[in-house]
Amino acid sequence: MALVVWSQALSVGVKSVDDQHTVLFNTINDLHAAMMKGKARAMTGELLNTLLTYTRNHFSDEEEMLDKAKWPGLSEHKVLHRNLTKKVEDYIVRYEKGDITLSVDLAAFLSEWLSTHIQKVDQLYGPWVNERGIR
């Protein structure tokens, strides 16, 4: 059973971004499934690497799109992106050190990311980007 399910309520209104956000949802659900099977430790390293790659690529794409749209909140948005990327990098360090509480903390972090960054922050730029025809 999925921990998080994509719905239109989570859409930022930009298809390319929504498509990328579903990758994050899949990563969260993969981690949750591994935790439910008692295999979180075995899968966490792979999931963290997937998450770091996703984070870097998605944020780069999103920032490029917002720059093209001349979105006035871009500077602040970049800071949030750097902070989220740093958190993922910190989780990798914790994983490499053998932190046994990592999976639970990571699941909480990812849930917070969904509820705060995607649902509240990213949804602010959707109308701006769409009005300017940027995809």
Secondary structure (DSSP) of 4-63: S---GGG--S-HHHHHHHHHHHHHHHHHHHHHHTT-HHHHHHHHHHHHHHHHHHHHHHHH
Per-residue pLDDT reduced to its tens digit, 1-13: 777 788 888 889 9
pTM (2 decimals)?
0.86
Tell me which fold the domain 20-131 belongs to: Four Helix Bundle (Hemerythrin (Met), subunit A) (1.20.120)
Give the integer Cα–Cα distance in Å for 61 and 55: 10
- Per-residue model confidence as pLDDT tens digits over 65-102: 999 999 999 999 999 999 999 999 998 999 889 887 77
